[in-house]
Structure 1
Amino acid sequence: MSAAACFSADYAEARRRFTAAAAAAGAALFSYPHPAQGPNGEDLATDVAWLGPQDAERVLVTVAGTHGVEGFCGSGVQTGWFETGLAGELESGIAYLAIHAINPHGFAWLRRVTEDNVDLNRNFADFSGPLPENPGYDALAEALCPPTWDDATIAATGAVLAAYAEEHGAGGLQAAITNGQYKHPGGIFYGGRQPTWSHHTLKRIFARHLSNAGRVAVIDYHTGLGPRGHGERICPASPGSPMMARVRDWYGDDFTCPGLGTSSATEVRGFNVIGMEAAVPQAEVTAIALEYGTQPSEEVKLALRADNWLHLHGDPASAQGKAIKAQLREAFYQDADDWKQMIWDRAVETQRLALAGLAG
């Protein structure tokens, strides 16, 4: 079976194929229904597959669809892992937990965010106290998310962003845009004011299925950053932390860390590993994001801004709306056989290294 055959064309197909492949592999299936529906009236859910001993102390966890539209990538890997039989290559005492479409609304509707315009990977902040400030985003908010979207607006706002980069550097611009912000509900990279449905569901899944685990390896699949097709292993932990030491032990020097300035990603606030660790306080969690590049960074950001405008001010059913949706999909899912093969090869290598780390 070719790697390209593992990937699906939309959320509904991805869900059908994932659950069928997991069931055929002998995995136990669990479903967490979402309260909304998809664009064609289809039911939405986060589906979970468990393969291996129920009381396993060591568990490999893969997560697909943290950023909705990025779910094509992780779903293809998870489905292929079951369909090829690789999921069954577990050493004694190790289990595999696949979390499919943790943000099903974003996956189905081709949005990076949740149903409430929240970036799930910025939504694990401490909402009981003051939320993180992002003065850089505040300064750029109007330019990033203008009320109109045409060639003139794109050019004018692009000049504002370029001027900011000239003053603060390219890294400063990226940090201002992508670190996360909590003041502009209609903006991009918005972390929210409270936990989302997907936030609660992720923690519920971890608490329910990993209550016996002592060692947990997490691979969270993402797309949109870095060179096309390259899977960057991003460790979100602080430099010098025990988690980073384990990541280095498992993956050698083939990983990056935003805290060290070695990653294509900036230091994100409110990322999902915070919630994972809180849900399983008894477990040692070793987590990475596996981030695959698609297009140049500026094209990806432009697609995100266009989609944000579309859902605030535009009509998704219009010709412009359909063009923007195609632009967004291409920015996060390269429907090309060579890209899919690169995703698959790197994923297999990475998951095998994680399993070896758990077994060690």
Structure 2
Amino acid sequence: MKATEKYFTSTYEQSRETFRNLINSIKEKWPKAELYTKSIGREADNTIDVIYSEGGSSNDQVLFFTTGEHGIEGYTGATVTHLFVEEYLEKVNSETTGICLVHAINPWGMRNFRRVTENNVDLNRNYIFEPDSVPEDVNENYAKECQIFQPNEKVKDVTKEKTELYEQLSKGMMREGFSGIKKAKSMGQFEFEKGVYYGGSEEEESAQYMKTWQRKLLAEYPRVIHMDGHTALGPTNEVTMVVSEHDEREEEEMKEQYSMENIEKFTPKKVKGDSTNYFHKLNKEEYPDTYLFSALFEFGTFGTSRKAELREFTTIILENQLYWEGAEKEEDRQWILEEFQNMFYPDEEEWREAVLKEARLGIESVLTQEGILVTA
């Protein structure tokens, strides 16, 4: 069996079953490990699954893997978790290290191959530390260009509408500048319930549940090492480590420390409701004596050119329009769904092989530097 066939799955149910079965391997090193299952949302059998155990003799540190915050991206995240268990578990000192692996933070999105929750919420814009401090109209750039981002009718001719979206986005870039349009996307918005990048009007159930785990780990361990799996952003077929500005190290310093070529920092000022920023804020405000490493690991698909970013914008907007309004022609519906999958979970063998290669790079670089992997 090829490695890609072993690690990559095609349905939420298959991915979840694979994850749940990892408990057997984990119990060999952490006999007290347990599987926790939390039902999420209105539909039956959508669950967040967590495998957790403290260290055998002491809790010096904990390894925290999370996946599926953006539903469809959870397939690749689960693949990386499976790879870690199969290839690296033996290199972890289970006597002093706890383990906490999370499958499908957004199970509805993963099951339905969408990024968002059943409430159309982008979970990575839903972790607000002080909800009253964020005004609904925080995203001025989005509001100015909301006609681009809002669904208003069925998809009638995807080729024509894709071209028109390109033109609208290009004009928007002329009005607001390229950085303005990018800011509209990254900031998230809290006004338009059917729009893209919606952060929600209240805390999502998934976010509530994950916050309990964040707080538990920060409270019970002096060191927390967190890796969160994502797809789409960054150079094609490469992994990019994305860290919060709360980490005071410079990008070049981290590139040298972790021996990784692609490392980017982002600021909470430009991204509202990001889960990594929330984790750091919680750490600073309530558990200042705990060391926290927390980063997103993005496996790139479309690339980083302006053309690629236009394609990304267009794909997300069309998929959102399709979900809310539908399409007149079945071939247009299929094209949008395929393009969306190409952006977040491509089935090309080359990309999937690159994910495994780059995942090994990320795991070895970060977990060795952070003292999780024991070197011979």
Q: In structure 2, what is the equivalent of residue 59 of structure 1? A: 62
Are residues 316 and 236 of structure 1, via their aligned partners in 2, closer, same or farther at CA, if it must alter by over 3 Å? Answer: farther
Give the alignment partner of residue 297 of structure 1, picking from 305, 309, 314: 309
Give the alignment partner of residue 212 of structure 1, picking from 211, 214, 220: 220
Kept after mapping to 1: 8 A contact 2:61/2:222? yes
Q: Give the paired residue count.
A: 350
Paired letter, 2:358: R
Of all paired residues, the percent bearing the same amino acid is: 23
Q: Note the alpha carbon deviations across 1:310-330, whole angstroms, 9 max, x for none.
A: 222127995544443222122
Give the alignment partner of residue 146 of structure 1, picking from 124, 147, 151: 151
Q: Secondary structure at the match of 2:194?
A: coil
Kept after mapping to 2: 8 A contact 1:87/1:96? no
Are residues 269 and 244 of structure 1, via their aligned partners in 2, closer, same or farther at CA, if it must alter by over 3 Å? Answer: farther
Paired letter, 2:132: S
Kept after mapping to 2: 8 A contact 1:22/1:29? yes
Q: Distance in 2 between matches of 1:253 and 1:237?
A: 18
Query: Which of 242-251 and 104-113 deviates more?
Result: 242-251
2:185 is the counterpart of 1:182? no
Q: Note the alpha carbon deviations across 1:183-217, whole angstroms, 9 max, x for none.
A: 11111111112111111011122234553111111
Q: Secondary structure at the match of 1:359?
A: coil
Are residues 95 and 340 of structure 1, via their aligned partners in 2, closer, same or farther at CA, if it must alter by over 3 Å? Answer: farther
Paired letter, 2:34: A
1:70-81 alignment, distance < 5 Å: 70-81=73-84
The gaps in structure 1 that reach 5 residues or longer are none
Task: Tell me the TM-score normalized by structure 2.
Answer: 0.83
Paired letter, 2:141: G
Are residues 316 and 210 of structure 1, via their aligned partners in 2, closer, same or farther at CA, if it must alter by over 3 Å? Answer: farther
Q: Secondary structure at the match of 2:23?
A: helix
Q: In structure 2, what is the equivalent of residue 43 of structure 1? A: 45
Q: Distance in 2 between matches of 1:284 and 1:36?
A: 37
Q: RMSD between aligned alpha carbons?
A: 2.9
Deviation at 1:20?
0.7
Query: Which of 173-182 and 58-67 deviates more?
Result: 173-182
Kept after mapping to 2: 8 A contact 1:250/1:356? no
Q: Distance in 1 between matches of 2:329 and 2:266?
A: 41
Query: Which of 4-13 and 131-140 deviates more?
Result: 131-140
Q: In structure 2, what is the equivalent of residue 33 of structure 1? A: 39
2:129 is the counterpart of 1:128? no
Paired letter, 1:137: Y
Are residues 152 and 320 of structure 1, via their aligned partners in 2, closer, same or farther at CA, if it must alter by over 3 Å? Answer: closer
Task: Tell me the TM-score normalized by structure 1.
Answer: 0.87
Q: In structure 1, what is the equivalent of residue 360 of structure 2? A: 348
Q: Distance in 2 between matches of 1:3 and 1:128?
A: 48
Q: Secondary structure at the match of 1:338?
A: helix
Paired letter, 1:136: N
Q: In structure 1, what is the equivalent of residue 3 of structure 2? A: 3
Deviation at 1:352?
2.5
Deviation at 1:304?
1.2
2:334 is the counterpart of 1:332? no
